[in-house]
Structure 1
Amino acid sequence: MPDPVLLDLGTGTGHVPRALLPVLHRPVRIDLVDVNESMLEAARAALEPVRGACTVDVFSGAAHTFAPAAPGLAPTLITCCRSFHWMSRPEVLSMADRVAAPHAVVEIMGGGSLWTHKADWTAALRELIQTYLGEDRRAGTRSTYAGPGRSYGDDLAGSAFKQVTEHSFPVARAWRPQDVLGYLRTTSFARRALFADRHDEFEAAALQLLQDHARGGVLKEDAVFTVLLARRPGGDA
């Protein structure tokens, strides 16, 4: 089997490829895709100390428009985390079928959101956000969130990568209050732009709330991280 080529869609600041690097077998190339150029540069910088001998390249644009930089660079592993919700999923999976190696694996993963997590501190935080932004969960400056019309498993089953297995992993996270504020700035439901000139006010209130709920300076989240692995029928991955 050829050495791995990783394609990470909606890479953000590069957490997925950075987490995968220790377990990939001699990756020769990593392609990072995002619509946000500043996040792409942050991802490239985060990977620089740990990438070893592999090439890291960035592609600025919608995930479904990605094309390999040159022949022979077909990805063997295509990953996408929570951002899959916001993508044109059928078009993304069609793109994956066009560009991926015959034995490639598509990996869709996610661990939920602090908006939906059931704990006293997340419920209080959600209520605080709602006092500023309204009852509905925001999804950008002008719209609200709607759940996916069908499951990601169904999306994959309707694509070329219809051989799907699901794996669930319990995850215990410990958040510092300041880390939660940093996370919120990256979300669609509590990003800075939604609050206009009240963002500093919101963050001060949120920090106080989180500090009041923290035990020993820590907020606990018991979550489940779900990984969908999809292959073309008969694919040898």
Structure 2
Amino acid sequence: MSAFTGTADYYRQYRPGIPSEVVAMLNHAAPTGSPRRLLDIGTGPGLVPEALLERFDDIIALDSDRDMISAAEAALRPRLPYGSRLRLVQGRAEEFAPPLGWRPHLVTCCRAFHWLDQQALLCRLDEYVAPGGVLAVFSDRSLWTADNDWQRAVRSVVQDFLGEQRRAGTGAFGPVGPPYRQVLRNSAFSDVTETVIPVRRTWNAEEVVGYLYSTSFAAPHLFMERRDGFESAVKAVLAESATGGVLTEDNAFTMLTARRPSSREGR
């Protein structure tokens, strides 16, 4: 069972999209060309390709979860610009082999790098990323790690129902590895730049519950017959913090853009 079993529809509807500032940075970082190729790893329901549809005309979106791929197909195909190409692939990123001669100019990995065998993935990417190509690893803080008062209160409710340890579907969330910057610097993509993009969001209680159900640590099936009680408990703690039903969140996207050193390009 995938850690995200049963979450795809919630992910599509309730996860925040990619901020315009992040989109602009990705567009600026990647080489130009025609066709301009994007590989999105851990695409989920396609939030990153959706944000970049107008900027890349040959896109492969990859995810190991079949329901996520179906959600991405339904969301992206109707929006695809005329003449652009989109392929959605179910499979493990560490084992993915692109079509013969297909070399991405930009590889994106949003909110997914921690789920992967990072060293194996980076070695595989070095085999086919285009010369001058860019790898972008980026994420905002999840509710589990965020530090707003109302988010800490909601996390406590999750722990009351599911236990103190962070869940990952039916299992437990794995140990935190070395910082991503260090992992990248030890790879072929060792020329690394870090940028932090602050974001402010507003939520209501229904949106917070929907967001929780989009996560591996609070997937709907984990609560079984206690789901109604969980929702009531979440809404009760949120009512204490909301102003006119509105909750404010200060978050940030941390983006690492990584390239091969110039001495290794064109090898």
Same fold (TM over 0.5): yes
Q: Which residue in the other structure is 1:131 paired with?
A: 160
Aligned match for 1:81, one of 103, 107, 110:
110
| Match among 149, 157, 180 for residue 152 of structure 1 | 180
Q: Of the candidates 67, 89, 99, which is equivalent to residue 38 of structure 1?
A: 67
- 1:145 CA displacement: 4.3
Find 1:210's aligned residue among 231, 238, 248.
238
Runs of 5+ unmatched residues, structure 1: none
SS at match of 2:146: coil
Q: Do structure 1's residue 10 and structure 2's residue 42 form an aligned pair?
A: yes
1:103 aligns with 2:153: no
Aligned pair partner of 2:259 in 231, 234, 237? 231
Tell whether the 8 Å contact from 1:32 to 1:58 is kept in structure 2 after alignment.
yes
2:14 aligned partner: none
Q: Distance in 2 between matches of 1:80 and 1:108?
A: 5
> Separation in 1 of the partners of 2:174 and 2:229?
24
Whole-angstrom distance in 1 between the partners of 2:245 and 2:77: 32
Q: 1:198 pairs with 226, 234, 252, which one?
A: 226
Aligned equivalents of 2:236 and 2:80: distance in 1? 39
User: Does the Cα contact within 8 Å between 1:138 and 1:145 map onto a contact in 2?
Assistant: no
Overall identity of the aligned pairs, in %: 44
CA distances 1:142-197 after superposition (whole Å, capped 9, x unpaired): 224422x2011111111111111011111001112211112111212111232232
Does the 8 Å contact 2:165/2:172 carry over to 1? Answer: no
Which TM-score applies when normalising by structure 1? 0.91
User: How large is the RMSD of aligned CA atoms in angstroms?
Assistant: 1.7
Query: What amino acid sits opposite 2:232 in the alignment?
Result: A
Q: Which runs of 5+ in 2 are unaligned?
A: 1-31
What SS does the corresponding residue of 2:79 show, helix, strand or coil? coil
Higher relative contact order (CA 8 A, sep 6+): 2
Q: What is aligned with 2:52?
A: 20
1:139 Cα deviation after fit: 2.2
2:208 to 170, 180, 187: 180
Amino acid at match of 1:42: A
Matched positions, count = 231
